[in-house]
Amino acid sequence: MKPVDIKSLINYVSLKILGGSDYLLDALEEYLVNGEGPAIVAHKYNISKHQLRGYAQRIIEKSGSEIRAKKIIPILKQMAVDVKPIVVRDENGVYTCTLCNTVVAKEDSEEHVRKYHKDMLTLAITNMSEKLDEIRAKKEKPVIFTSAS
């Protein structure tokens, strides 16, 4: 079985959250872990079913399997508690970068973060990695994040 690509998961989640998709893990938990219908979850977070399935697919690929993804999502949520978006959406659906006060297109928000706020992205990734170390240290036996076999 494919190993868990934890680095890639952390990168993906960090960038999504910073770019304003901070609902990502909640939506995935409801859809993948709790088994809610995609239409209900997509509507709740104001995204399309297609987007929701796309997010799920990415997380499953990086986790190695759907079963693993279901276990990892709650852990990712714990890891991401301190990561806050820097691009935010207002009630009119306009995305603004709170660091440089620039209006960005929704589809460009992640690219904006990567291009202009790489230090913030690095910080978020470091923060998530440290949280993972804490979580690992608390557990007696690491179950899913063992190295590739």
Which stretches of the chain bind Zn ion, using CB under 5 A? 97, 99-100, 116
Q: Which is nearer to Zn ion, 19 or 38 (CB)?
A: 19
* Closest CB 94 distance from Zn ion, rounded Å: 14
Q: Which is nearer to Zn ion, 71 or 89 (CB)?
A: 89
For Zn ion, the nearest residue by Cβ is 97
* Closest CB 118 distance from Zn ion, rounded Å: 11
Q: Which is nearer to Zn ion, 100 or 103 (CB)?
A: 100
Q: Which is nearer to Zn ion, 67 or 103 (CB)?
A: 103
* Closest CB 116 distance from Zn ion, rounded Å: 5
DSSP one-letter code for 106: G
**19 SS3 class:** coil
* Closest CB 96 distance from Zn ion, rounded Å: 9
